[in-house]
Amino acid sequence: MSASTQLLVEAAAISKAFAGVHALRDVSFDLRRGEVHALVGENGAGKSTLIRIITGALAPDSGTLRVSGRTVPRFSPAVARSLGIAAVYQQPALFPHLTVAENIALALEPGGLWRRVNWKARERRARELLEQGGCPIDPARLVSTLSMPEQQIVEIAKAIGSDLRVLILDEPTASLGSREVRELFGVIARLRGRGAGIVYISHRLEEIAAIADRVTVLRDGRAVATREAAGADRAELIRLMVGREISAIFPKREVPIGEVVLETRSLASDAGVRDVSFTLRRGEILGLAGLVGSGRTELAQTLFGLWPPRSGEVRLARKPVRIASPADAIRLGIGYVPEDRRRHGVVLEMPVAANASLASLAAVSRRGLIDHGRERALARGYVERLRIKTASVYSEAGLLSGGNQQKVALARWLATDPAVLILDEPTQGVDIGSKSEIHALMGELAARGVAILMISSELPEIFGMSDRIAVMHAGTIAGILPCAGATQEAILALALGAERAAS
Give the model's pLDDT for residue 447.
Answer: 95
Whether 489 shows a pLDDT value over 50: the answer reads yes
Cβ neighbours of 60 (radius 10 Å): 21
- Per residue in 214-262, pLDDT (tens digit) is 999 998 899 999 999 988 888 788 788 877 555 557 777 889 999 999 9
Least confident of 109-113, 392-396, 410-414: 109-113
Q: Measuring CA to CA, which residue among 349, 347, 348, 381 is closest to residue 364?
A: 381
Q: What is the mean pLDDT of residues 38-51?
A: 86
- Rounded to two decimals, the pTM is 0.63
Report the top-level CATH class of 3-242. alpha beta
Q: What is the mean pLDDT of residues 365-381?
A: 88
Give the model's pLDDT for residue 333.
Answer: 95
Give the model's pLDDT for residue 1.
Answer: 47
Report the top-level CATH class of 248-333+418-503. alpha beta
Domain locations along the chain: 3-242, 248-333+418-503, 352-415
**Phi first, then psi: what are they for 381, rounded to 5°?**
-60, -45
Query: What percentage of residues in the chain have a pLDDT greater than 90?
Result: 45
Q: Measuring CA to CA, which residue among 502, 469, 467 is closest to residue 487?
A: 469
Write the single-letter amino acid at 76. S
Query: What percentage of residues in the chain have a pLDDT greater than 70?
Result: 94
Q: What is the mean pLDDT of residues 326-351?
A: 87
Give the model's pLDDT for residue 3.
Answer: 47
Give the model's pLDDT for residue 502.
Answer: 45
Give the model's pLDDT for residue 111.
Answer: 60
Write the single-letter amino acid at 108. L
Q: What is the mean pLDDT of residues 293-298?
A: 90
- Mean pLDDT score across all residues of the chain: 87
In sequence order, what are the residues at sequence separation of 6 or more whose Cβ sits closer than 8 angstroms to the Cβ of residue 53? Answer: 11, 14, 16, 24, 59, 60, 65, 75
Going by the DSSP 8-state scheme, the letter that residue 243 receives in this structure is S
**Phi first, then psi: what are they for 76, rounded to 5°?**
-150, 165
Q: What is the mean pLDDT of residues 444-469?
A: 93
What DSSP line would sit under 151-185, residue for residue? HHHHHHHHHHTTT-SEEEEESTTTT--HHHHHHHH
Cβ–Cβ under 8 Å, residues 199 and 166 = yes
Burial class (CB in 10 A: 0-12, 13-18, 19+), 209: middle
Taking CA atoms, 440 is separated from 246, 250, 348, 465, in Å, by: 12, 8, 25, 10
Intrachain domains 3-242 and 248-333+418-503 with the same fold = yes
Give the model's pLDDT for residue 455.
Answer: 95
Burial class (CB in 10 A: 0-12, 13-18, 19+), 66: middle
Give the model's pLDDT for residue 245.
Answer: 56
